[in-house]
Structure 1
Amino acid sequence: MPTPIPEYEVYAVRYATRNGQRRDHFIGGDPHDAPMPMDYFVWVAIGGGRTVVIDTGFTEDVSNKRGGRTYLRCPVQTLERLNVQADQVDDVILTHLHYDHAGNFDRFPSARFHLQESELSYATGRYMHYPRLSHSFEVEDVCGLVRLNYQQRVYFHNGQGQVAPGVSVHWAGGHTAGLQFVRIHTKRGWVVLASDVSHFYENFEKNRPFSSAFHVGQMLEGFDSLRTQASSLAHIVPGHDPLVMKRYPAASSDLDGVAARLDDTPLDGPDL
C-alpha cells in the first residue's frame, strides 16, 4: 500500500498591520476611496513529525525604519505560543526576499532555507539598480541569504519542488521574479498559502493585479496557478488580507486575533 500523505495543522500568525486605501492595492488604482488595511503574517505547518515555517516576517527595527506600520509582536516569539521553537525548526520556506517575508532568518540557527533560485538571482542582479524594485528589499537580509548559501543551508528550487511529504513549493513570479507559493496537505484538503501571489482575496477572485509588480502577466497567471493547486477557491489563503483572521477560527482562545487555524473550515466568507 502507498504511504499516506501526512495531514498538517496550518497556522497564520499576524504580527503587524498598516493602514491603506483601496487605490493602493490594485494596478490602475480603484474608483472607491475607501480604507483597505493590510496585515502581515508568517505561517507554520505542523504534521508528520515535521515543523515547516513559511516566511519569517520583519523586525521591530525595520518597522521603525520604514514607518507607517504598526508592529504588534515578534513573529518568531509568537511561534513559541504554538509550541514552535525556532532553534528546533528544520525547514523554513521563504516565498520571496522582500523585507516583510525574509527578516528574522537568523533566528532559525538549524534550519534549511527553501528558495527559488530565480529569487536570489533577482535580488542580487541588475534590476536592483532601480529603486522602484529594490525598495522592498532589505540588503542585509539578501546578503544574509548569500552567506547561508555559502554555509550549504539554502536549498534552491526551480519551479515546483517538494519540501516534505505533503508540502510543496510552486514558482509563480509576478510580484518578484522568484516568488513562490506553498501547497500543504491538510484534513480538509490541499490548502494553498498564496503569500504575495495574491495579497488580498480580491486580487485573485477578481483577477485584479496588485500594485507592486515585476511582471503583470506572470501575476495574472499566478492567480490561475493558485486555483489549479488548491482543492477549491476556499482553500486559497492570501498573503496580507485582514479577512483571514475573520474567516478562520483562532488557534486557541488566548490567540484570538493573533493566530488562525487554516486547516479548519472557514467560519464565513462567500460560498466558494
Structure 2
Amino acid sequence: MSESTYEIYAVKYAHHDRPARDNFLGGDPHETNMPLDYFVWAIVGQERSFVVDTGFDAEMGAKRGRQITQPPAAGLKALGLEPEAVEDVIVTHMHYDHAGNHALFPQARYHLQDREMAYCTGRCMCHQALTHAYEPADVSVMIHRLFEGRVRFHDGASQVAPGISVHLVGGHTNGLQVVRVRTRRGWVVLASDASHLYANIEQQRPFPVVYNVGDMLEGYQKVRELADSEAHVIPGHDPAVLSRFPAARPGLEDWVVRLDADPIGG
C-alpha cells in the first residue's frame, strides 16, 4: 500500500426494517421489506487514517426507532482504530444518522461543506419537512467545534489529503458531499446518501428524503464519473454492501467489510 493509497472499511452499526415504498420518491409497487443498514466508514492509510461520518448512539436509535447492532466505536476498534486518537472526521452531511456520537472523537477536526452548515442553520430549517432528519444538538455541537478551531470547511471539490477528496453533490441535503478515495483497485466513491441503496442510483429512482430532486438525479451521474466503475460506488445504507464485499477479517462477517478489496464474485 503506497502512501496515497488506502484501505476502506464499511462498519455497520444499526438496522431499520421498512417497506420498499419508503425508499423511492413516488413509492414502489412491491409490498416487500426493503431494510436500511447504517454505516460509518474508515479510510486507513500508512501514515493517516480518516473516519467518514459518526453515526448515532443508542438513545437516538430509540428515539428514531432504529436498532443499534454494534456501536460505531466497537467496529472501529475491531480495525485497530481508537476513536480518541482519530485526527480527521469527514461528515458527509448533518443528518442525525451521520453526525451524532458527539464525544466519540475528542481530538478530531471535522471536514464539512460550507453549504451544509449554511443549510442546517439557515432559513430552510423553518420547514419541518426539511428539519425532521436533523437534530438540534448535532448542529449545536458542530458550532461549538467551529469555535474550538476543530472544523475545516470545503467549498465544492476539495482535496482532504493525497488520494482523498470530497465533492459537493447536494440533492439529499443542500450540502451533501461524497468522498473519493484512491485504493489498490482504483477510485472508490463513498456515496453516502447521494444514493441510499444500489437501486436508487442503478434505477435512477430518487430517495424520498430530498432537498432538490434535480440535484439528486444529477448527483447519480457525478458519482459515476468520480468512480472507476459502478462496482466502485458504495451506497450509504444498502445491506447488500455486506454481502458484496469480504469481511475485514474472520469473525467480522455482516459487520465490518473491506471496500478496497475486489467484490465477491468478481
Matches within 5 A, 1:93-242: 93-242=90-239
Instruction: Report Cα offsets for 1:202-223 as digits up to 9, x if no partner.
Output: 1111111111100000000100
Residue 251 (structure 2) aligns with: 254
Asked if 2 retains the 8 angstrom alpha-carbon contact of 1:99 and 1:137, the reply is: yes
Asked if 2 retains the 8 angstrom alpha-carbon contact of 1:76 and 1:104, the reply is: no
Q: How far 1:70 sits from its partner (Å)?
A: 1.2
Q: How far 1:105 sits from its partner (Å)?
A: 3.5
Residue 47 (structure 2) aligns with: 49
User: Any idea what SS the aligned residue of 2:32 has?
Assistant: coil
Residue 84 (structure 1) aligns with: 81
Q: How far 1:16 sits from its partner (Å)?
A: 0.3
Asked if 1 retains the 8 angstrom alpha-carbon contact of 2:3 and 2:47, the reply is: no
Q: How far 1:34 sits from its partner (Å)?
A: 1.1
The structure 1 segments of at least 4 consecutive aligned residues displaced by more than 3 Å after TM superposition are none
Q: Give the Cα–Cα distance (whole angstroms) in 2 for the partners of residues 8 and 62 of structure 1.
A: 31
Q: How far 1:168 sits from its partner (Å)?
A: 0.5
User: Any idea what SS the aligned residue of 2:234 has?
Assistant: strand
Residue 63 (structure 1) aligns with: 61
Q: Give the Cα–Cα distance (whole angstroms) in 2 for the partners of residues 18 and 177 of structure 1.
A: 25
User: Any idea what SS the aligned residue of 1:106 has?
Assistant: coil
User: Any idea what SS the aligned residue of 2:118 has?
Assistant: helix
User: Any idea what SS the aligned residue of 1:224 has?
Assistant: helix
Instruction: Report Cα offsets for 1:133-176 as digits up to 9, x if no partner.
Output: 10101110100000100111100001011111101000000000
User: Any idea what SS the aligned residue of 2:11 has?
Assistant: strand
Q: Give the Cα–Cα distance (whole angstroms) in 1 for the partners of residues 94 and 161 of structure 2.
A: 21
Asked if 2 retains the 8 angstrom alpha-carbon contact of 1:160 and 1:170, the reply is: yes
More deviation, 234-243/100-109: 100-109
Q: Give the Cα–Cα distance (whole angstroms) in 2 for the partners of residues 232 and 78 of structure 1.
A: 27
Instruction: Report Cα offsets for 1:57-99 as digits up to 9, x if no partner.
Output: 00100011122x1111110232111000111111100000000
Instruction: Report Cα offsets for 1:113-147 as digits up to 9, x if no partner.
Output: 00001101111111111111101011101000001
Q: Does 1:263 align with 2:260?
A: yes
Q: How far 1:7 sits from its partner (Å)?
A: 1.2
Asked if 2 retains the 8 angstrom alpha-carbon contact of 1:200 and 1:241, the reply is: yes
- 5+ residue gaps, structure 1, are none
Residue 20 (structure 2) aligns with: 22
Q: Which amino acid aligns with 2:67?
A: T
Q: Give the Cα–Cα distance (whole angstroms) in 1 for the partners of residues 238 and 245 of structure 2.
A: 12
Asked if 2 retains the 8 angstrom alpha-carbon contact of 1:56 and 1:76, the reply is: no
Q: Give the Cα–Cα distance (whole angstroms) in 2 for the partners of residues 48 and 179 of structure 1.
A: 28
Q: Which amino acid aligns with 2:147?
A: Y
Percentage identity across paired residues of the two chains:
50
Q: Give the Cα–Cα distance (whole angstroms) in 2 for the partners of residues 88 and 167 of structure 1.
A: 20
Q: Give the Cα–Cα distance (whole angstroms) in 1 for the partners of residues 97 and 90 of structure 2.
A: 14
Q: Give the Cα–Cα distance (whole angstroms) in 1 for the partners of residues 107 and 238 of structure 2.
A: 31
Q: How far 1:5 sits from its partner (Å)?
A: 6.0
Q: Which amino acid aligns with 2:61?
A: S
Q: Give the Cα–Cα distance (whole angstroms) in 2 for the partners of residues 107 and 34 of structure 1.
A: 36
